[in-house]
Structure 1
């Protein structure tokens, strides 16, 4: 039963974070809908452009130390060395905060030039100066959460994400309604990050000892050790971040604020699916992999299960959004954003390669220490964007769809390359048959949704029918096509039992799948559809 224990350890931590993120994602989704409606396409476009340089400079904060803090805290705790983990965490946080303050002043001083000559929006200079403050508050929020993650403090992290989302909802909407517009949206985000980060920092302080372990190692030694581990992660992550912001910069050059708003409105759906739901699982897997490595656990098997079970969420989320793009944008964002539906369809296709374990590769490579391989994957994906984004959007004249084609090419390159390196360098196990079966089930459900839309025109009614039809077809097809088997249900059941509300939602679905499996002509009750390797 060692394979079930590995699945339990990886998934249980994931679902604790998932519980927090699913609540925060719901709150953030409401915020996105209301704020986008209030700002309109032009305001949404301006808000998107204002975040480009704070997000870009944020990627330079700490030079990858965040990853090192999480990695070494989890690793040393698994080795029974808590004082070493705490000392490294303390020194890493000091380094991060100093670099964050420095980059805040860089952003503040360069706001006028960047707004005028890079974004071609000199009217955004004043707001760009306000947006620079995001670097400070994001540094606080992200660094303390990285530290807590390394110590396995999933509950405080989940609560902090909920608090940040709730504060952003209240302040953003309130400030916009009193007439501050885009400025109100910025201030709401800043306040949410500041308060949540400060409270979470207090929790971290209480967990840190008042006296650190006695050691001859200096601050410089600790920073050097974490930089040596984190630099490959940092370089790869920096490449991806710069590439993502580069897409927005190209977008600012070829489109007005209204068109930028249409694109960003569509991207919000992808952000909710990937950044809020899927990243909850992927983020929790990072310390799980690190701990397994420290105790010589079977990371190969954990990676295989992670890819497979994350696919259960990724495939239906993206294919449903693809099929129901029209009703989704019309109902949630309003008639003003109907043009966004075409971009949403393309973006869902562009991000389907996430099913191939792209989201699981980052925590896996980080957790087992193969950061150089992760760097190769990220640089390859970034290079594809740098080459193809201007080529397809401007030279070949595809415009905004050309930018999305570049994202598709990047993801199609990164996903198989990452899998190949994981299999070759870490001997990771990947269960390809369930992956293909899950995709097949999702595509069948997509076809059913598209067929239904031929007969239902009213958007509110169509969206409700689409949800029912999609879930019915997808959940029915999964066991019959081999996407899920009896051993999978046992692992998932063991992993989520006792998680309160979420287990009450998910366990009936597993029960439904188990009943369908019994109806199959031949159901192997004692063997897995993908037998686990021996741990001998």
Structure 2
């Protein structure tokens, strides 16, 4: 296998970025909640209201000063990387960072000067002025953090965004807030902690972005001023409308009701945001990939990432909302006396939060495919409706009215966005059986938890614990048993078996007990081609072991380095690690895992050499019907495909065995094999000529295989002519050959 070093090959997997984003979101939301918690516990409801108002004004001004560059930075960096234009990327970054920070500096000065008037005339809270002035100083640095980290996301990596934006900034803010309040500070001290965290995070984010850009090839900087400005201007208005929906109710409440009521509402809203934290994280992880796929014209990849984000946002959000809906009072009372009355607010807001799992990914998709104008219309319309409802309902219903305005707007906006995405982008609805199972499981879990906790004594900690156990138990069981797709169930089984070898052996034995039989010998080439190129990578390990037997015995580290640099290392990196089948991401941990897998695999080689091939047992195969799509690939003919036993088949290949007898394999049904060939191609670790020669083993007559060196050769020499149309439709073939 070719060991090319490409940016795509080094790019973190989507699964890992999603996991990293969710982890960062957990840290960020916990830190944000803890900030509100310590202010509420140590300073009271009024202080929460003051802090929240200043924070809300900063959040709105962030959007004003950001000029739409957060969305633009991610898209333009991703697009320039996809088209190989480092000069345009550098120019976009310079404009996208310097202009918003400059505008923010001017706005911050104006806010600082006008703080007294705002506090007195608008919010009728004169003591709020100093808090606002301190928060105003943080605005330029907060803008810098956001635009710089958005640019790093364009590199299809969430590392900087997570560690700086979701761990460093909120973690430092909480630590400093707690320290200053313990030293006797008040709301101004909490605002000072916010300022310090923004300054540190802004400097670190800028340094990280500079380092990432410096790794690109040298090129004359060009400034895509018109295109960037046009895209950003539309995104600017759209993002202001989006965030306006999150903060308009707080600002309007501040003008119409007391800061104490604002504080109660903010705590209730923060509780609901706990249940929503994964939405932003998963959207951030997938946004650059949607832009890249759209630029390349791969609509299937756009739809896959869009629907996958909706599915996982739902799976992780709805059970948390179910727990909140079951025991809202118990959760609110963690913040202290005076907050329990906001349970109705939590119930109302949860409806909007549940709908946001559909609306937020749809908004991201529209932005990243360049249809941010549509997003603008939807967002501005939603904001107008939201503001109107707030002014109509708050005077009558107070914080409950604000909650209804937000929930109604979010639900309607989500429906409109989903319809729009179907019409202008994917042509499909995002619904799926796993999604509906997740919704049903969440509703059932919420109902069960509420019924049971109502029977318990009035101990809020007990109710919280029981509700958590019931929701996790019921929801998790239903989703695992009934809500996983076939591919997900297979991936879960493989991931568990790789971590627990004994469980893997038990699974294989169970498969064999329930497997069927066949009375025909199967050609090895047909079993592995086109889907299982990883078998050749495994054969590469066994070839190295025989060619370098002395090295394996006398210098295992050197042998492992040799294996890591070859096809086996490519399979480990791009299949096992990329797909999340091995634990951890630390390089040292991965090397230990690689060593363990190599040792286990070579035991098969040693066993065969001692006892013969019959000692290795049977492999499992399945019959894949014509037209069955496996990661974007399908065939126009039924095909026997290897499911489990790749190392054993690799040993057969190494020894020149061309067929498996009926005694050497068992038939399993209802299980699709992985398409590891597509993954190795996508990663860049399998060159085009190697790929088509491998595919020719199972798709081209024996006498023509020596003539196959390019995709066009493969298409012209297919043994089954009916396969030509489906092979041409493979994303890798379209991208490499221009076949239509």
Question: Which interval holds the TM-score relative to the shorter structure?
Answer: 0.7 to 0.9
Aligned length: 497
Q: Structure 1 residue 437 and structure 2 residue 437: aligned? A: yes
Shift of 1:524: 5.0
The match for 1:194 among 177, 194, 199 is 199
Q: Structure 1 residue 116 and structure 2 residue 120: aligned? A: yes
Q: Within 5 Å, which residues of 2 pair with 1:396-411?
A: 397-411=396-410
Contact 1:384–1:409 (CA under 8 A) maintained in structure 2 = no
Match of 2:22 in 1: 18
Counterparts of 2:474 and 2:274, CA distance in 1: 23
Contact 1:233–1:372 (CA under 8 A) maintained in structure 2 = yes
Moved more, 82-91 or 308-317: 82-91
The match for 1:214 among 209, 217, 220 is 220
Q: Structure 1 residue 85 and structure 2 residue 78: aligned? A: no
Cα shift readout 1:130-159 (whole Å, capped 9, x = no counterpart): 221131221121121111111234222221
Shift of 1:89: 0.9
More helix by share: 1
Q: 1:437 to 1:128 in 2, by over 3 A?
A: same
Cα shift readout 1:252-307 (whole Å, capped 9, x = no counterpart): 23322222111111111123332x43211111111111121233332122212221
Counterparts of 2:149 and 2:197, CA distance in 1: 15
Counterparts of 1:253 and 1:30, CA distance in 2: 26
Q: Structure 1 residue 29 and structure 2 residue 33: aligned? A: yes
The match for 1:329 among 323, 327, 332 is 332
Q: Structure 1 residue 290 and structure 2 residue 291: aligned? A: yes
Contact 1:301–1:428 (CA under 8 A) maintained in structure 2 = no
Shift of 1:201: 1.5
Counterparts of 2:205 and 2:242, CA distance in 1: 28
Cα shift readout 1:16-45 (whole Å, capped 9, x = no counterpart): 222333333333333332233222211111
Q: 1:472 to 1:245 in 2, by over 3 A?
A: closer
Q: 1:58 to 1:88 in 2, by over 3 A?
A: same
Counterparts of 1:261 and 1:473, CA distance in 2: 34
SS for the counterpart of 2:68 is: helix
Match of 1:41 in 2: 45
Moved more, 455-464 or 416-425: 455-464
Moved more, 199-208 or 397-406: 199-208
Q: Structure 1 residue 497 and structure 2 residue 502: aligned? A: no
Q: 1:162 to 1:385 in 2, by over 3 A?
A: same
Shift of 1:74: 0.7
Cα shift readout 1:219-274 (whole Å, capped 9, x = no counterpart): 5xx23221211222111111233344331232123322222111111111123332
Q: 1:48 to 1:151 in 2, by over 3 A?
A: same
TM-score, structure 1 normalization: 0.86
SS for the counterpart of 1:99 is: helix
Cα shift readout 1:454-485 (whole Å, capped 9, x = no counterpart): 222211111111111111111122255x5322
Q: Within 5 Å, which residues of 2 pair with 1:474-489?
A: 474-479=475-480, 482-489=482-489
Shift of 1:79: 2.0
Shift of 1:489: 3.6
Q: Structure 1 residue 164 and structure 2 residue 169: aligned? A: yes
Shift of 1:164: 1.2
SS for the counterpart of 2:131 is: helix
Structure number with higher relative contact order (C-alpha < 8 Å, ≥ 6 residues apart): 1
SS for the counterpart of 2:242 is: helix
Match of 1:303 in 2: 306
Match of 1:520 in 2: none
Match of 1:254 in 2: 256
Match of 2:225 in 1: 223
Shift of 1:337: 2.4
Match of 1:65 in 2: 69
Cα shift readout 1:285-332 (whole Å, capped 9, x = no counterpart): 1111112123333212221222112110121111211112122122x3
Shift of 1:420: 0.5
Match of 1:513 in 2: none
The match for 1:345 among 347, 366, 369 is 347
Contact 2:344–2:400 (CA under 8 A) maintained in structure 1 = no
Shift of 1:425: 0.4
Moved more, 363-372 or 50-59: 50-59
Task: Report the structure number with the largest CA radius of gyration.
Answer: 2
